[in-house]
């Protein structure tokens, strides 16, 4: 229990420092993200106003799901073989 508490505190400090250093390391990232969000909002408004476009857009990440499924299956089999 003592090790867990120590690891948690050290991990929390490291993550806090890293999150505070991100704006210093990537100063223009916030501007780029804001511009991308504004562009996405404009495109969404245009699509909403256009009656020829479907009103509901469905995103189904089947490729990602397939890759994750294969990777998890391999990892589970590897862990199962080492557990024997």
Domain ranges in the chain are 2-83
Q: What is the pLDDT of residue 1?
A: 64
Alpha-carbon gap, residue 56 to 72, rounded angstroms: 32
Euclidean distance between the first and the last CA atom of the chain, given in angstroms as a whole number = 28
Residue 47 CB: number of other CB atoms within 10 A? 13
- More confidently predicted of 1 and 25: 25
Closest CA to 83 of 70, 72, 4, 75: 75
Alpha helices (H) in 26-61, listed in sequence order: 29-49
Q: What is the pLDDT of residue 53?
A: 67
50: left (phi over 0), alpha (psi -120 to 50) or beta: beta
At 25-64, the pLDDT tens digits run 888 888 898 999 999 989 888 877 777 766 676 777 888 8
């Amino acid at each position: 229990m003592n090790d867990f508490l120590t690891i948690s505190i050290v991990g929390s400090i490291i993550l806090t420092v890293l999150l505070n250093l991100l704006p210093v390391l990537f100063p223009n990232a916030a501007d780029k993200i804001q511009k991308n969000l504004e562009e996405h909002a404009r495109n969404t408004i245009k699509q909403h106003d256009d009656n020829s476009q479907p009103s509901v857009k469905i995103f189904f990440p089947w490729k990602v799901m397939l890759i994750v499924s294969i990777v998890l299956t391999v990892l589970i089999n590897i862990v199962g073989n080492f557990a024997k």
